[in-house]
Structure formats: structure tokens, C-alpha cells
Amino acid sequence: MNSAKEKKLLVSVVIPARNEAARLGECLRTLKNQSYSPIEIIVVDNASSDDTAQVAAGLADKVIVEPRVGITYAKNAGIAQARGEFIATTDADCAVDKRWAEELLSMFSDPAVASVGGANLPSLQATRFESCVDMLLVLLSAQAGSRYRQNGNSKTDTFHNPGCNVMYRRSALEEIGGFNESLVTVEDEELDWRLLRKGHRLLFNPLARVYHNRRSTWPGFARQIYRFGIGRGQFFRLYPRFSQLVRFVPLVITLTWLGFAARAVVFPSLLWFFLLATVFAASAAAGISFWLSIQTGMQDFFRYLGLLTVAWFSWSWGILHGLMYRKEKKNPQVISAGSITKSNKDFFNDTASLYERINQRVISDGDWYFCSILEIIKNMAPRGGFLDVGCGTGAIIKQARVFFSPIAGIDIAVNMLTAEPIPASVICADAYALPFKAGAFSVVSCHAALHHFFDFSSVIKEIHRVLKQGGILYIDHEVNSGFLRRFRLPMIFYRSIWGMDKRYRRQSASADIEQFRLAEYHTLTKKGVDIPRLIQELEQAGFAVVMRTCHCWGISTITNRLFRMLRVKRFPQLISPFCMILAKKEH
């Protein structure tokens, strides 16, 4: 890129480092010896307990301390302090080639190019064990897009550049909000995926080489593969349609093998199934180890066999952990009341015409259940009006008109109020500032609404203001966080196939699912509504809870019909996903 060389663009290099005092010096010395300048070297000390910061202070231009442990925290902290128009990242245990920065920068002539990566080669001083680890990583990553050992002169487009050897255009990083801080690993691939979705190009230049120290101990190798597995499981939860299912083969085979073992204990006649599976797995591992050992003169068969076994089980356990990991998010932006409100407004305005069709599981055959609750409320509440907060297309209002008058409804999305005829006075408004005078209503309904708000307490206080003394607040269809904790793994698989985001995506390819996840804040992002905390906030606002039940209404249209036929209203709390609360305004 001749124009870049003439302008001498500043390149910032960010190196996240945690307890890397022994190897960081070599990395920094190779960066100081680059053929290209100017280069700004930034080391992010990620809560190290050794002399990492002291080693960095003597060679780096900036040393930043990031107390939150995690590679994404460290990378984002370094990027925030970087001054360069191009930002490269490498690892503290890497040594870079003399022309590394120059080769990466030379590929940015096309403005559509967002990142350029290079070859990830083993250290020139690798031990025998590290060389075996490298050979195994080459084999395991053959279908994964990683650049282990890739060399030559083929400069080409790619779909992923590993974080140990990559340079980004600063404007592209700012456009997508940097690295997703909730990911344990695979943060570089997830960022690349977002760049591709924005229409950017990713390039690979094999002449931009780094020499990467592989893990030198058995526990270190096991931890690395385990963490890779966690990241892969998290990535699947974020993008299930775009994950390579071959990565889940070890987990599926391991679970099948354990299933045979359990059956053999209960049914001894099936022991031969377990033995056959064991022999098959051992033979496959031995065959792969034999092939790898041929590459190194038949000297490392048992080492490869051990490494392959460790990798298999570490990866399987990591994948399983990643599938259950509770902190992933697609959008690393700061979440606030404003961003949640905007997501609700934009998403439901865009998809209002689909709402009733997609939410049939909640609406279908629900009139009997709704009427039974509304009748109880009528006998409790003083005479007066009824307000439905987050009324949507009017499912609750259509039932409430039998018991109350006058009736009003509000929703943040104006298109929801016009998608279906609603037999009431409806207003497009924000529940944080209800457009009604104090004491205007005897009943306020929040059916499947509270989980859409960032802050319960502000909404509850506003509802308290518009209720009459002795008025009733009706809260329903809020997913209990306790239920989601108890049934975490089944819910992960359920949502990956039948989740509401999947339903919207099937009905509309343009539906913004990241926006939907923010709109369903407490259900998807916060993993359910904390019912004890909700009750505490109700009491602090001046309410007294007069009824609390758990139920399963709204799981599906089939179960709704079954419950209606059997006249079932209450269910055991242990297996009930939804909570209903009636709270009376006392003071």
C-alpha cells in the first residue's frame, strides 16, 4: 500500500498480557525491530500477579492496567487508548517477523478491507512437546479456518483471522463496537463475523508471520482446549445457523459413549455395546496418533495419543460449558434504559403485523384464563377505569371490557396499536412517564410487559401514581428466573430451535434479532425476572402482594387447549415458567 507508506500512518499494536513476564520481552523486542514505523506499542496488563507490567514498562510505549480478567476486556481497553488509524493485535507469547506490520498494512489499499491477518507458525525454539501440540492443532483446525502453519505466497480473502496475527482498520472496529466482552474465547472470530455481515472484506497475507509458542505442559494444553470449547459453545448460541456442526461431533460421541456406559450398568446385556463403542473410539484415536507420529519419525505415538485424548474430553466439556454459559451477548454496546426503550419501539414497530401470528401460543385459548383472573380482580378493586400497560394488539383489553369501564391502553410502538382493531382508547406513550393524572385508574395490567423494561422500580412507581388507593396492579406472564436456572440446558436447546427469535426470523428475514434480544431484556439478556426482587420493589413502592401463583399458560397452543379443557389454573412452582402477581396499593 504505497500511499500508506508515503503518509507514514501510525500503526498501534495492542498486546493483552496476563502473567506473561517470562515471554513478553521477546514479543516486544521483535515489535521494536520492525521494518515499518511509526508503531505505537501498547501492553495491557490483565490483572497479572508477576512482573508483566515491569517488563512492559521498559519496552512498550504505553502500559495499561485492566483489572477485569478476560482477553476481550484487555483488547478493548488497549483499543480505546490507541492513537493509530490501524490497530494490530498479537499475543504476549508470540514473536513477530521483521516485516510483519509492513506486510499487514500493505493489504489495505481497498477501503472495503476491514482486517488483514497472517500465518500463525510455531516458535523456532519449540520443544518436542510443543511441536507435537502444534501438529495436533494443525490437524484439529484443518476445517476451522485457523491459520496454523499456513505459509506460501497466496494472498486471498478469508472469513477469519486469528487475534494473534491481525490488523484492523480503526473505523471498522468503531463501527461494530469492538470485541464482545462476554465471550471467553473465539472473540476474534465473532468480531470477524460481524465485520462480514456489515459488508467488509477480510484478507490473508501469509508473508505476515508470527511465531507462536504452543502450550508446553499437559495442564496448560488441557486448559487451552477447554477454553476454546467454551468459546465455541458460546458462538453456537449466538449464531446457531452459521456454526459448523462438525465441531460438536466429540461432544455427541462422548455423550453417546457415556449413555452406553450408564445403560450397561442398568442392563448388563448391553455391555457389549459399551465395549464396542470403547474399542471403536480407541482404534480411531490410535489411528490418528499413528498418522501424526509418522510425520515425526514414529517417535511420539503415545504422546500424540495422550494429547488427542486430553483434547477430546477437554473440548467436549468446554463445548457443554459454553452451551450453558450465561453471559453471552451479540451486541457489546452499553445497555441502558434508553437503549432498551429504543429497541422495543423500533423492533415492534417493524414487526407489528407479525405479532398476533407469532404469539398465538400466548393468545390462543387464553380467554378463559384471562377472564378468571379479571373476575378475581374486579371483586378486589374499587370501581373505576382499567389501564393496560404495554397493550400490544389488545389481547387483554378485549377481555377486560367485559368487567371494567372505561378502558385505556398504552404501548411504545405506535404500529402495534394499529395492527389490529382495539376496542379502547389507546395511546403511544412510554411507561416511564404515563400520560395520566394521579389516581386515574382502579386497575393497571402489565401482562407480559415488565420484562421489556430496563428498570422495574421506575415503572412500578409510575403505576403506583396513576392507581387509586386500594387499586390493583396485575402482573402476569413473566418468566421466573428460578425456572430458567433449574431447566437451563433444556431451555437452551428449546430456544435454539423454537425460540421467539427463531419464529420472527422465519416470518421475516429482515427482523433484527439483536434488537429483539434487547427488547426482551429480562427474559433473554438477564435470564428471567427475579420474582423475589420484584416483590421487594413492589412493597417498597407501597404495594402489598395479595396473590401470587405460578402457571404454564402460554407455553403452546396445544397445552393451552388442554389446560382449558381440564380447567387448570394453578401449577406446581417447580415446573412452572410463568408467574402471576396481584398487588394492592396500600399507601
Burial of 301 (0-12, 13-18, 19+ CB in 10 A): middle
Q: Is 107 left (phi over 0), alpha (psi -120 to 50) or beta?
A: alpha
Own/partner contacts of 332-337, CB < 8 Å, gap of 24 or more, are 332/76, 332/177, 332/178, 332/179, 332/180, 332/181, 332/182, 333/177, 335/454, 335/518, 335/521, 335/525, 336/454, 337/432, 337/453, 337/454, 337/455, 337/458
Q: Residue 571 in 3-state DSSP? A: coil
Q: How far apart are CA 562 and CA 418, in angstroms?
A: 32
Which of 349, 579, 585 is closest to 476 using CA atoms?
579
Dihedral in degrees, nearest 10, Cα atoms 228, 234, 240, 243 = -10
- Alpha-carbon Rg for the chain in angstroms: 29
Q: What is the pLDDT, as a whole number, of residue 150?
A: 55
Question: What's the CATH code, domain 2-126+146-213?
Answer: 3.90.550.10
3-class secondary structure for 135-181?
Answer: HHHHHHCCCCCCCECCCCCCCEECCCCCCCCEEEEHHHHHHHCCCCC
Q: Is 68 left (phi over 0), alpha (psi -120 to 50) or beta?
A: beta
Q: What is the largest CA-CA distance in the chain?
A: 90
Q: What is the pLDDT, as a whole number, of residue 24?
A: 95
Q: What is the pLDDT, as a whole number, of residue 326?
A: 53
433 alpha carbon, distance to own chain's centre: 31
Place of cell 498486546: 15
Cα distances (Å, whole numbers) of residue 63 to 17, 49, 82, 377, 476: 10, 15, 11, 62, 51
The separation between the first and the last C-alpha atoms of the chain, rounded to the nearest angstrom, is 71
- pTM > 0.85: yes or no: no
CATH fold of 337-585 reads Rossmann fold (3.40.50)
248 alpha carbon, distance to own chain's centre: 18
Q: Tens of pLDDT along the chain (587 residues)? A: 444 444 578 999 999 999 999 999 999 999 999 999 999 999 999 988 889 999 999 899 999 999 888 899 999 999 999 999 999 999 999 999 999 999 999 999 999 999 999 998 888 888 889 888 888 888 877 544 445 555 556 788 998 999 999 999 999 999 988 998 888 888 998 999 899 989 999 999 999 999 999 988 988 899 999 988 888 888 888 777 667 777 888 888 888 777 777 776 667 766 777 777 788 878 888 888 888 888 777 788 888 888 888 988 888 888 888 887 654 444 445 567 888 888 899 999 988 888 877 776 555 566 778 888 999 999 999 999 999 999 988 889 999 999 999 999 999 999 999 888 888 899 999 999 999 999 999 999 999 999 999 888 899 999 999 999 999 999 999 999 888 888 876 777 777 667 777 777 777 766 777 788 888 888 876 678 989 989 999 999 999 999 999 888 877 777 778 887 877 767 888 888 999 999 999 98
Q: What is the pLDDT, as a whole number, of residue 568?
A: 77
Q: How far apart are CA 180 and CA 188, in angstroms?
A: 9
Which of 115, 151, 319, 159 is closest to 237 using CA atoms?
319
In degrees and rounded to multiples of 5, residue 200 shows phi and psi of -85, 165
Which of 526, 524, 508 is closest to 516 using CA atoms?
524
Q: What is the pLDDT, as a whole number, of residue 105?
A: 95
How is the chain split into domains, by residue range?
A: 2-126+146-213, 217-330, 337-585
Q: What is the pLDDT, as a whole number, of residue 331?
A: 43
Beta pairing partners, 364: none
Q: What is the pLDDT, as a whole number, of residue 124?
A: 85
112 Cβ contact list (under 8 Å, min separation 6): 199, 200, 201
Task: Please indicate whether the domains covering 2-126+146-213 and 337-585 agree at the CATH topology level.
Answer: no
Cα distances (Å, whole numbers) of residue 428 to 287, 351, 416, 510: 67, 16, 9, 24
Burial of 177 (0-12, 13-18, 19+ CB in 10 A): middle
Place of cell 449413555: 259
Q: What is the pLDDT, as a whole number, of residue 5?
A: 43
Q: What is the pLDDT, as a whole number, of residue 289?
A: 84
Asked whether the beta carbons of 76 and 173 are under 8 A apart, the reply is: no
Q: How far apart are CA 325 and CA 74, in angstroms?
A: 20
Q: Is 527 left (phi over 0), alpha (psi -120 to 50) or beta?
A: left
